[in-house]
């Protein structure tokens, strides 16, 4: 029975070439967001699904009893489970909240009769399910996927009964092992005087709750037989001209391809025939972060039309024309210095866990605007595409981070882990490569970068990302608490040093007076050692809303405010030189595993988990709004100069 699970779950990846890993086989084709067009229909399968956690001692009953062969309700008691949603917090069942193993879902749906035509293909797509997933349609296995925060899909054309009921069954396993991303371990407790027989626990190496289940939407969508499989673009700027370099992949056969570019007013401004080419836009409107221009986030629309014998497939892709470049001291967007003042987030909220929730998404963007944040890091995994779309549209800059959080032990650095990490980076790039908002890739958060194995490991991962995407800088965030930069084995491979510190919190707790000095010295030292621009990618203090003590004590709102002010004093010194960004830890409180240092989760938010401001939010808002005022004044000055000069 284990063989059947293994056989489905782990795609085999190998490939060693000239000292670094190149992936083959595991990832093929594109992963264009499922959207409607003249030639495509989308049917969402969201709503209530049947749900059953496999609580058998080996968690294998679902496989041995083949639960996928019939409706789940016939195999035992099921409950209603919303999709998308994490399953952990929606019931009163503690064992479900803390469940480790295979959880099963199923849903019945009608496949539209009109889709039964031989001219269609039908795909089943999961925007994400955490962590290992196996999917069956009408009892036939159609796809497996490893990893919790990226989309996967399968063609199901020949498996559906059109105009009739169909059943989709999903098994999702949230177990984290030394080779998953994020990694974790499972400990079996064999002392039967202390633990019940077969007792085991999941140990996390990350400081957030391991929410699980089908956390993003599930969709069916159609394409014609010959269809657009992928679109890859990149943009360059020459003076006032924007150039969009594109490549279209299609399946399959002989086609005619046309690519048209429309401006925001829907006027056709450029056209090209062929699968690879360039679209040139004279007097282009560039994509700017909203803090750098009065006309930010300008999006063109690229309409791709692939036709074969009169049948067309059409896909529209928003395109922002912008460039990103780093020097030893600067982060340049469209040739101009960009200062990032933003937040770290989590896709975390009460009840729904990490389930995509559009009201929450809009609330968070409202709060970002209220704060004056001009960007965020997707700590510590890629966020939903619906969120990324809004960043493109609103001019919010994103450091797109992989789920490589907590890479600490030797096993986490072994070749199995490396191959998986490389695969995850490919999947992430494939999904987000065309997004103007994504200005940097972060391959990991706080790995043990002092370990000697970290050097070759990160050299490989970063070289792989750069081979996929030569246009964006790459980083990982370094935990400096505090160790001399000379000990770091991996920082030499990044373009921007992203440093996480918690002075007067994890080190020198309570001593606010050391923050400015330590921040200044350490940030200067890191810059000197590697000669690269520096971002403070985390700094923060746990704060229980409503706790007030003056003079400040740790965990009070006063302490968080003073803590931030002391960091800001250092930032304002260094901003004139090599310091290019600050990201508060964290935007909002979020859930963690239970531990003696976490009182109902991590409380370092400037907003509560219910998205209400603590005192620090007002301080941060004052700071960010005045940074916007500075930036806009400077940029508008520059923008006028830029128009008559070449800026790349």
Ligand X SMILES: *[C@@H]1O[C@H](CO)[C@@H](O)[C@H](O)[C@H]1NC(C)=O
With binding defined as CB under 6 A, does residue 132 bind ligand X?
yes
Q: Which is nearer to ligand X, 43 or 575 (CB)?
A: 575
- Alpha-carbon distance of 604 to 590, in angstroms, equals 8
* Closest to 621 in 3D by CA, of 339, 367, 376, 288: 367
Query: Is residue 61 among the annotated active site residues?
Result: no
Residue 392 vs residues 234, 397, 613: alpha-carbon distances, Å: 15, 8, 26
The three-point CA angle 231-236-237 to 5° equals 145
Give the Cα separation of 256 and 258 in Å (integer). Answer: 7
Q: Supply the minimum distance, in Å, between the C-beta of residue 155 and ligand X.
A: 22
| Residue with smaller CB distance to ligand X, 47 or 274 | 274
Report how far residue 611's alpha carbon sits from residue 535's, in angstroms, rounded to the nearest whole number. Answer: 26
Q: Determine the longest span between alpha carbons in the chain, in angstroms.
A: 79
Euclidean distance between CA atoms 237 and 253, whole angstroms: 34
Cis peptide before 548 (omega within 30 of 0): no
Task: Verify binding: residue 626, ligand X, rule CB under 6 A.
Answer: yes
Can you tell me the distance from the alpha carbon of 534 to that of 478, in angstroms, rounded to the nearest whole number? Answer: 11
Give me the 175-214 binding string for ligand X, x by CB under 6 A, dash otherwise.
x----------x----------------------------
DSSP string, 199-242: -EEEEESSSS----B--S-EEEEEEESSEEEEEEEEEEEETTEE
Residue in 146, 446, 538, 557 annotated catalytic: 446
> What Cα–Cα distance (Å) separates residue 147 from each residue in 10, 203, 438?
11, 17, 21
Nearer Cβ to ligand X (246/286): 246
The yes or no reply on residue 622 touching ligand X (CB under 6 A) is: yes
| Nearer residue to ligand X within complex by CB, 202 or 602 | 202
Does 625 help bind ligand X (rule: CB under 6 A)? yes
Decide if 400 contacts 428 (C-beta within 8 A). yes
Residue 63 corresponds to which tokens in the numbers above?
Answer: 């496989």
Q: Which is nearer to ligand X, 164 or 622 (CB)?
A: 622
* 3-class state of residue 401 by DSSP: strand
256 binds ligand X (CB under 6 A): yes
CB contact at 8 A, 227 and 121: yes
Residue 161 interacts with ligand X (CB under 6 A): yes or no: no
Considering only 239-247, 279-287, 322-330, 537-545, which stretch makes contact with ligand X by CB under 6 A?
239-247
What would the x/- binding string for ligand X be over residues 426 to 455, using CB under 6 A?
A: ---------------------------x--
Nearest distance from residue 160's CB to ligand X, in Å?
A: 27
Closer of 166 and 236 to ligand X (Cβ)? 236
Report, in Å, the least distance between residue 624 CB and ligand X. 8
Is residue 247 involved in binding ligand X (CB under 6 A)?
A: yes
CA distance 31 to 459: 26
Q: Does 414 bind ligand X (CB under 6 A)?
A: yes
In the complex, the smallest distance separating the C-beta of residue 634 from ligand X, rounded to whole angstroms, is 13
Residue 503 sits at φ, ψ, to 5 deg, of -65, 150
Residue 467 binding ligand X, by CB under 6 A? no
Q: Which stretch binds ligand X (CB under 6 A): 74-82, 330-338, 601-609, 623-631?
A: 623-631
Task: Tell the smallest beta-carbon distance from residue 174 to ligand X (Å).
Answer: 8
> Which of 42, 186 has the CB closer to ligand X?
186
Which residues in the 214-233 window bind ligand X by CB under 6 A?
232-233
CB neighbours of 50 closer than 8 A, spacing ≥ 6? 71, 72, 73, 78, 79, 80, 81, 105, 106, 107
Shortest distance in whole angstroms from residue 226 CB to ligand X? 8
From 84-92, 303-311, 543-551, 574-582, span contacting ligand X (CB under 6 A): 303-311
Identity of the residue, 235 or 537, whose beta carbon is nearer to ligand X in the bound complex: 235
Q: Which residues are catalytic?
A: 446
Residue numbers at the binding site for ligand X (CB under 6 A): 5, 9, 16, 59, 100-102, 132, 173, 175, 186, 232-234, 245-247, 254-256, 307-309, 413-415, 453, 470-471, 622, 625-626, 629
């Amino acid at each position: 029975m284990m063989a059947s699970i293994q056989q489905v779950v782990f795609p085999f990846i190998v490939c060693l070439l000239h000292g670094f890993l190149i992936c083959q086989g595991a990832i093929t084709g594109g992963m264009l967001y499922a959207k409607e067009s003249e030639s495509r229909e989308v049917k969402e399968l969201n709503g209530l699904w049947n749900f059953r956690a496999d609580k058998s001692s080996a968690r294998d009953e679902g496989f041995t009893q083949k639960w996928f062969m019939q409706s789940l309700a016939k195999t035992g008691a099921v409950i209603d489970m919303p999709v998308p949603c994490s399953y952990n917090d929606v019931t009163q069942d503690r064992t479900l909240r803390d469940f480790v193993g295979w959880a099963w879902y199923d849903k019945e749906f009608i496949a539209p009769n009109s889709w039964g035509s031989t001219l269609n293909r039908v795909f089943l797509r999961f925007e994400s399910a955490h962590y290992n997933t196996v999917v069956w349609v009408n009892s036939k296995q159609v796809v497996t996927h490893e990893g919790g925060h990226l989309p996967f899909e399968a063609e199901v054309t020949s498996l559906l009964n059109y105009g009739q009921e169909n059943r989709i069954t999903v098994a999702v396993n949230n177990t984290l092992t030394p080779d998953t991303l994020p990694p974790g371990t499972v400990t079996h407790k064999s002392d039967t005087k202390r633990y019940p027989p077969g007792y085991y626990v999941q140990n996390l190496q990350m400081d957030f709750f391991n929410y699980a289940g089908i956390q993003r939407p599930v969709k069916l969508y159609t394409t014609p037989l010959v269809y657009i499989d992928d679109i890859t673009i990149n943009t360059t700027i020459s003076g006032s001209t924007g150039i969009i370099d594109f490549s279209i992949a299609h399946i399959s056969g002989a086609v005619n391809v046309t690519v048209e570019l429309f401006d925001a007013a829907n006027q056709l401004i450029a056209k090209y025939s062929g699968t690879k080419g360039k679209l040139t836009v004279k007097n282009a409107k560039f994509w700017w972060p909203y803090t750098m221009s009065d006309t930010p986030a300008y999006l063109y629309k690229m309409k791709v039309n692939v036709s074969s014998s009169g049948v067309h497939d059409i896909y529209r892709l928003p395109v922002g024309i912008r460039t990103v470049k780093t020097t030893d001291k600067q982060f340049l967007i469209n040739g101009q210095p960009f200062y990032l003042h933003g937040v770290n987030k989590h896709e975390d909220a009460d009840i729904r866990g990490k389930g995509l929730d559009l009201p929450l998404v809009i609330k968070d963007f409202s709060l970002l605007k209220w704060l004056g944040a001009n960007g965020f890091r997707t700590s510590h995994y890629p966020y939903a595409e619906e969120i990324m779309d809004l960043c493109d549209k609103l001019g919010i800059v994103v450091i797109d981070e992989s789920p490589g959080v907590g890479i600490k032990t030797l096993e986490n650095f072994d070749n199995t882990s490396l191959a998986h990490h490389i695969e995850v980076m490919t999947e992430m790039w494939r999904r987000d490569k065309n997004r103007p908002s994504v200005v940097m890739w972060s391959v990991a958060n706080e790995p043990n970068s002092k370990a000697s194995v970290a050097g070759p490991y990160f050299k490989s991962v970063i070289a792989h990302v750069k081979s996929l995407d030569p246009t964006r800088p790459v980083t990982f965030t370094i935990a400096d608490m505090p160790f001399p930069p000379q000990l770091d084995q991996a920082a030499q491979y990044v373009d921007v040093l992203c440093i996480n510190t918690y002075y007067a919190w994890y080190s020198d707790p309570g001593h606010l007076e050391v923050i400015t000095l330590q921040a200044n010295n350490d940030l200067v030292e890191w810059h000197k050692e590697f000669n690269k621009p520096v971002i403070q990618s985390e700094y923060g203090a746990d704060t229980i809303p409503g706790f007030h003590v003056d003079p400040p004590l740790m965990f009070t709102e006063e302490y968080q405010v003073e803590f931030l002010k002391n960091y800001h004093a250092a930032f304002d010194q260094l901003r004139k030189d090599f310091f290019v960004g600050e990201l508060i830890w964290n935007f909002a409180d979020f859930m963690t595993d239970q531990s003696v240092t976490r009182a109902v989760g991590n409380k370092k938010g400037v907003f509560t988990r219910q998205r209400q401001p603590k005192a620090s939010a007002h301080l941060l808002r004052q700071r960010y709004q005045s940074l916007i005022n500075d930036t806009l004044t400077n940029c508008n000055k520059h923008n006028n100069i830029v128009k008559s000069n070449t800026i790349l």
